[in-house]
Amino acid sequence: MTATSEQDDKGTGQGAPAGSRKRWLVALIAVCVVAAGVSFVLFRGGKAKSSAAKQDSAALSRTVPVVAKAAKKGDMAVYITGLGSVTPVYTVTVRTRVDGQLMEVLFREGQMVERGDVLAGIDPRPFEVQLTQAEGQMARDQALLKNAQLDVQRYRALWEQDSIPKQQLDTQEALVRQYEGAVKTDQGQIDSAKLQMIYCRITAPISGRIGLRLVDPGNIVRATDANGLFVITQLQPITVIFPIAEDSLPQVLRRLKSGGQLPVEAYDREQKTRLATGSLLTMDNQIDPNTGTVKLKATFPNKESELFPNQFVNARLLVDVRHDATLIPSSAIQRGPQGTFVYVVKADRTVGVRPVSIGDFQGGDASIASGLSPGELVVTDGADRLREGAKVDLKGQSDGATPTERR
């Protein structure tokens, strides 16, 4: 028993250190693997940083061709724009005022006509007959009136002699008044027939351009016809109605209260060609709650018929002129997370990032409220390849300006 126990204890004592060595060996291998991984990551990160630094250095050392333009001082016109529609001052649908056969048309479609020009004629013969009848009736009634007036004179003399009763004289005087009324009625019939004959000659109620003919000669026309005979549209002057945002209304009201005339320019759809120049005439008396806009009406002389009814145009209303503003091309404006900025070309032919505050945009120019001085060069083309401190090569510089340090 004693010898066996000692051998078991000796075997147990030798087995425990062997298991511990295995565990230590596994832990050591794991630590080595982790250390190798960390070393690899640090090595790649350092290499990447070194590569990025080399790239940045190469980018800064490489010369970038750009186009630059000097900021200048000038006047900036402030416009309010809106998509408008050309609207005639007057549009008249000419209709006949009498019933009859349309005998002739005396105009060409699309012709410019003046007020009072004879444009068409309706058969006047039925109204000539009515005039003859009315004149004959009047002649008859005038004869009866004259005879009644003579009888009154006789009856008055007889009544003074007490030869007839007063009632007979009163009856004759009433008959005279009756014939006088009949004569007035006849005169009204004559005037009506003459007026109908005048209406047979259809004249232009306004000056303007006549449209397409709606009824051909030979047709019977009536005063109750809905379509009419033709349409005349006044073209000179002509108006443009366009909306502006309600936020812009105070600027317009201030100018109107000051008594100044607000110029308005009409441009084509692409806003490249100026069609006509006019002035603001008036504005609507309420804001449209659905769109948040108010309608303005501008008038244009339209001497050369540049504007045509129902034509869509871009209206530009001049509301202010900012004098001595710092102006740069709008293409020089860059936008980033920190706001708007420009690339300023320095004296050593490098560029710097300059935060700026924008005033207004008009056309291809922008006014700078702060951050830039007149005379400083700003990059207008090629800014997408630039960064702070990059070297540039100025191309296409035609104004003779030179790079300057920030003032």
Q: Residue 187: what pLDDT?
A: 96
CA atoms of 221 and 273, how far apart (whole Å): 45
Q: Residue 405: what pLDDT?
A: 45
Q: How many CB atoms lie within 10 A of CB 87?
A: 16
**Is pLDDT above 50 for 30?**
yes
DSSP H helical segments within 161-246, as ranges? Answer: 166-199
**Is pLDDT above 70 for 37?**
no
DSSP string, 301-329: --TT--S-TT-EEEEEEEEEEEEEEEEEE
Segment 159-188 shows an average pLDDT of: 93
| Tens of pLDDT, residues 259-279 | 778 999 999 988 889 999 999
CA atoms of 98 and 195, how far apart (whole Å): 10
Q: Residue 61: what pLDDT?
A: 60
Residue closest to 282 by CA, chosen among 239, 245, 233: 239
Highest mean pLDDT among 41-55, 61-75, 77-91: 77-91
Q: Residue 109: what pLDDT?
A: 92
Residue percentage of the chain with pLDDT more than 70: 83
66 in Cβ contact with 381 (< 8 Å): yes
The domains of the chain, with CATH numbers, are 63-77+323-394 (2.40.420.20), 80-88+235-322 (2.40.30.170), 91-122+200-233 (2.40.50.100), 124-199 (1.10.287)
**Is pLDDT above 90 for 214?**
yes
- Going from the C-alpha of 356 to that of each of 118, 234, 296, 339, 375, the distances in angstroms are 67, 50, 34, 8, 15
Q: Residue 220: what pLDDT?
A: 95
344 in Cβ contact with 402 (< 8 Å): no
List, in order, residues 6 or more apart from 107 with CB less than 8 Å away.
113, 117, 119, 120, 210, 230
**What are the phi and psi torsion angles at 387 (to 5°)?**
-150, 170
340 in Cβ contact with 366 (< 8 Å): no
Q: Residue 15: what pLDDT?
A: 45
63 strand-pairing partners = 391
Secondary element (H or E) of residue 86: strand 72-88
Q: How many CB atoms lie within 10 A of CB 305?
A: 12
The least confident of 70-74, 229-233, 403-407 is 403-407
DSSP letter assigned to residue 294: E
The least confident of 62-66, 122-126, 141-145, 351-355 is 62-66
With vertex at residue 220, the alpha carbon angle to CA 218 and CA 221, rounded to the nearest 5 degrees, is 120
Mean confidence (pLDDT) of the chain:
84
Residue closest to 84 by CA, chosen among 297, 237, 319, 235: 297
Segment 33-58 shows an average pLDDT of: 54
Q: Residue 398: what pLDDT?
A: 47
Which one is predicted more confidently, 176 or 48?
176
* pTM, rounded to two decimals: 0.65
Residue closest to 296 by CA, chosen among 316, 312, 276, 311: 316
**Is pLDDT above 70 for 5?**
no
Which one is predicted more confidently, 35 or 155?
155
Segment 202-213 shows an average pLDDT of: 94
327 in Cβ contact with 73 (< 8 Å): yes
| Tens of pLDDT, residues 342-395 | 889 888 888 888 898 888 777 788 888 888 888 888 888 888 888 888 888 887
DSSP letter assigned to residue 164: S
